[in-house]
Chains A and B, each alone.
Chain A
C-alpha cells in the first residue's frame, strides 16, 4: 500500500461516511426529541433515490400513491380525536399539503427541467412520508416506553418496505449524476458526485447548527430533547416538536437518497443497510451528541473503505462488529442504566 492508495481510501471513506453522518444526524435528532429509533429512515433513502432515478422517464413519481394514501390514513386516524381548529390543522397537514405536492409533481415531472429540479421533486414527494408516519404510528404512542416505540419503528419499517416493493417493483434504478466533472488534486481524484455529497453534508450540518442555535423553533426542539416534561411546563407544544423532528429527518434522509442515487443501483430495500450504518454511527455517538455521531459516521466510512481493500468478503462483518467494543466500553463507563424519562 502506497500513499496514493491510502489517500484514495480515506477520501472514499469520507464520502461514504458523509452519507452515514447525515442519516446519523437524522436518527439522533428524532431519538432526542421523540425517543423513537427511526428504523424506516432507510426506506425514505431508497424511495427518494428510486424516485429521483425514475424521474428520468418523465412520468409522475410512483411514490405519490403512497404519499396520498398515508395522508388519508393519517387524517382518518387523527380525525377520531380532533375537533375544531385541530381538525382543520390536521386536514391541512395530511391532505392539503401532500395533495398540493402531488399536484405540483405531476405537473412538473413531464417537463424534464433537469437534474436539480428532479432532485427537488424527489425530496419534496418523499420527505413528507416521515411526518405522516409520525402522525400515523408514533404520535399516538408518544408517552409509551422506548421499547414500545422501537417495536412500532420495526413494524413501520416492515410495512413501508413491503409497500415499497408494491410501488417501485423489484427492479433497481440508478440516477443521472449531478455532474460528470472530475477534479484532480495531485494523486487524488475527486469525482463530481463526491464533491456534491461532501458539500451537501456540510450545508446540512451548518444549517442544522444555525437552526438550533439561532431560531426559536430550534430552541424549542432542543428544550424538548433535553426535558420533555419541563418543555411542556413552559408552554412548548411537544407534539409539534416531534412532528418537526420527523420533518427534518425526512428532508435529510430524502436528500441523502438523492445524493446516493447516481452512485449505485438502488433497490426498494437497499436503503436499510445504509440506514443501519448511520445507526451504528449514532450509537457510537451515544444517540445524543451530533458532533460525536458525525465523527463516528466518518469513522464508519473509513473503516468500511479500508476493510473493502484488505478483506472485501468481510466488509459488512467488520463494520457491524465494530459496534460491539463501543457498546462494551459504554456499558462499563456508564454503570447506571438510563431510566425511562
Chain B
C-alpha cells in the first residue's frame, strides 16, 4: 500500500515536473469509520474485514482506503469523520456501523459536502429525505421492509393475533413501531407488547403475560444470542404457536445457543444469508457467492456474515458510482464529490450482496422486496422459504 502510493507520488511529481497536464494516476480517497470495538463489534469487525476486498482501482484512478475504529461511540465516530475530511481530504465517507453514530455524522459530511454511505440499519438515517440527507446513503435494509415481510408471512399463514417481546432499547422500540404500522395495515392484532433487557436472566414474567393473551404467534425483536432467551422460555412454558424473530439474530452463534428452542422459527433476512439456496436465475446469487468465496479465502471457511456483506455493499455502490463521477471532475475537488453524490443517487438496477438497488432522490436505500427473504430454522440451519 505504502509503496504503491509512493510510486504514485513519484510518478505524479515526475509528470508534474514536465509541466504536462497529461492524465496522471488520480487517487480517490475513501474514509471509513466502523465499530470494530465496543458493543457493535460483532457487526463492525466483519465489515472492516471486507475492506481488503474493496476495488483498488476505478477506471484510471487508484483508490486509497483509510480505516478508523469508532468503538461504537458517537463522539469518536464524529471526530473520525472530521479528521478524515479535514486532514485526509477524503471524497467519500463510509460508516458507521451503528445508527446513533451515523446520525451524528450527517451534519459533518453535509458541512463539508462529502457524500456518505452508512452501514447502519435504521431508516431514520435517510428518511424523511431533506436538504442534509441528500448527501447520505445507506446499505442495510430498512426495518420497515423486514417488518412487512413478517406480516405478509403471517397473513399468508392465517395468523391474526401476535404477541410482541423486544429489547428495551432503540432496536426493540424501532421494531415495535414498524411492526405495529405493518400489522395494523394487514389487520393483525398485537395482543401485548413486552420489553426485556439484553442482560436479563429471566423473561418468565413477560412470557406468562404474552401467553395469557393467547396469541397465535410471538415475535421476538432482539439481536444476537440474547434473543434466544424468550424462545427458550416459551418452549419451557409449553407454547405451541408460531415463533418469529428479526434479522438481528442472523448469525451462527444464535443457532448454537438457541438449539432446539428456536427450531421452526421464521425470520426475515437479506437474501445473502441463504445465497446458496437461491435459484440460479436470481442475479443476487452470483454476486453474494462471489463475495463469500473471496472473504472465506482470506478469513477461513464459515466466517462470512451478513454484516460483512453490508460492508461490501458500501464498496459496490461506490464502485458503480465512481466511474460516472470521474467524468465530471478530478478526485479531491468539490465537483467530484458532488458528482459522486449525484451518481450514487442515479444508481439503477445495481445488484449487490443483499438485493437490487434502485436509488431515487427520495429513496437513498433503494431496496425493494428482492432484498429480503423469509427463512425458517430447520435442523439447526437457515432454510429459504418460498
Contacts and interface: CB of A to CB of B under 8 A. Distances in A.
Contacts of B236: 182, 189, 191
B165 to A, nearest CB: 8
Contact of B196 (A266, A270, A305, A312): A312
A273 interface: yes
A202 B3 CA distance: 67
Nearest to A259: B201
A305 B196 CA distance: 12
Contact of B205 (A15, A174, A265, A306): A306
Contacts, number: 94
Contacts of B38: 170
B208 A309 contact: yes
B209 interface: yes
Given A265-B226, A308-B196, A170 B205 contact: no
B300 to A, nearest CB: 16
Q: Give the secondary structure class of B's interface.
A: mixed
A16 interface: yes
Contacts of B204: 8-9, 12, 305, 308
B175 to A, nearest CB: 14
A260 interface: yes
A226 B237 CA distance: 47
A186 interface: no
A263 B206 contact: no
B208 A264 contact: no
Interface string A308-319: 111011011000
Contacts of B165: 312
Contacts of A8: 204, 208, 237
Contact of A16 (B198, B201, B225): B201
Contact-size category for B: 20 to 34
B93 interface: no
Interface string A1-35: 10001001100100110010000000000000000
Interface string A119-136: 000000000000000000
Interface residues of A, number: 37
A337 B195 CA distance: 40
Given A191-B236, A265-B199, A309 B209 contact: yes
Interface in B199-241: 199-206, 208-209, 212, 224-226, 228-229, 236-237
B194 interface: yes
B359 to A, nearest CB: 33
B61 interface: no
Given A170-B37, A171-B42, A313-B168, A308 B199 contact: no
A312 B205 contact: yes
B202 A174 contact: no
A172 interface: yes
25 contacts: A5-B208, A8-B237, A12-B204, A16-B202, A170-B42, A172-B225, A172-B226, A189-B236, A189-B237, A264-B201, A264-B226, A265-B198, A265-B225, A265-B226, A270-B199, A305-B204, A308-B202, A308-B204, A308-B205, A309-B205, A310-B205, A312-B165, A312-B195, A313-B195, A315-B195
Interface of B: 37-39, 41-42, 165, 168, 194-206, 208-209, 212, 224-226, 228-229, 236-237, 257
* 4 nearest A-B pairs in the assembled complex, by CB-CB distance: A308-B205, A309-B205, A12-B204, A270-B199
Given A9-B208, A273-B199, A315-B197, 17 more contacts: A5-B212, A16-B202, A170-B41, A172-B226, A174-B225, A174-B228, A189-B236, A189-B237, A263-B201, A264-B202, A265-B226, A267-B199, A270-B199, A309-B205, A310-B205, A312-B196, A316-B197
